[in-house]
Amino acid sequence: MKFEIFDLGLTNFRQSWDFQKSMLLRVKQKELSSALILCRHLPVITLGRSGKKENILAGDSQLKKLNIKTYEVERGGDVTYHGPGQLCIYPVIDLANFKKDINWYLRSLEALLLDVLSDFGIKAQTQSGLTGIWVKQKKIASIGIAIKNWITFHGASLNLKNDDLANFSLIRPCGMDIIMTSMEGILNQEVRFDKVKRVLTRRWHEASSFAGTGRRN
């Protein structure tokens, strides 16, 4: 079986969602051992399983004017925004080949993101009782996963660009009153997607928990 990385580029959410499901089926059928999907989204708001519509602060007319669609999805968590200034990271992994432990998987994703940010000189951290990555009190990466037959999909989003942060004001991110930040906002310089993707894929391959033989129960 083989592992593959798919870079979908800038795409609408529905296309990437459908692609994730097709990869999930391929992993389930043992055509792939696992897949890592990278992409950027046209502006979109998604509601997770515990999402509350009142956490979307913008009205329907405003969202229509901005051409921002909303989707109710099967990932965990509340409401989030995705846009062209983010890198979305969707691993499709059969946890039966590693460890059937959702908390372990979430912490592994956080560790991967912390390593990537560290490679850019950004000192980030997790917060007790919460999922995601912060720089001081501002959130830079969000995580929301789904698991079907112990195969993962959905995943994480990492904020790269400053100019895409304004749309977070349309929602209450993750159902909380938090401030979002970006790599550019922290570094005060341009951050290129191709460089972040190279660092992330290198870190992915280095992480034996994901790209190696794995650890079975």
The rounded Cα 87 to chain-centroid distance in angstroms is 7
Handedness of CA 166, 172, 175, 181 (dihedral sign): positive
Taking only the tens place, the pLDDT of each residue in 148-165 is 999 999 999 999 999 999
Handedness of CA 109, 20, 192, 198 (dihedral sign): positive
Average pLDDT, the chain: 93
Active site residue 174: yes
Task: Give the active site residue among 89, 174, 186, 211.
Answer: 174
pTM of the model: 0.93
Taking only the tens place, the pLDDT of each residue in 22-80 is 999 999 999 999 999 999 999 999 999 988 999 999 999 999 999 999 999 999 999 99
What is the spatial distance between Cα 103 and Cα 50, in angstroms, rounded to a whole number? Answer: 17
What dihedral angle (degrees, nearest 10) is formed by the CA atoms of 35, 40, 44, 46? 30
In the beta sheet, which residues pair with residue 46?
71, 80
Q: Which CATH homologous superfamily contains domain 2-208?
A: Bira Bifunctional Protein; Domain 2 (3.30.930.10)
How many percent of the chain have pLDDT more than 90?
87
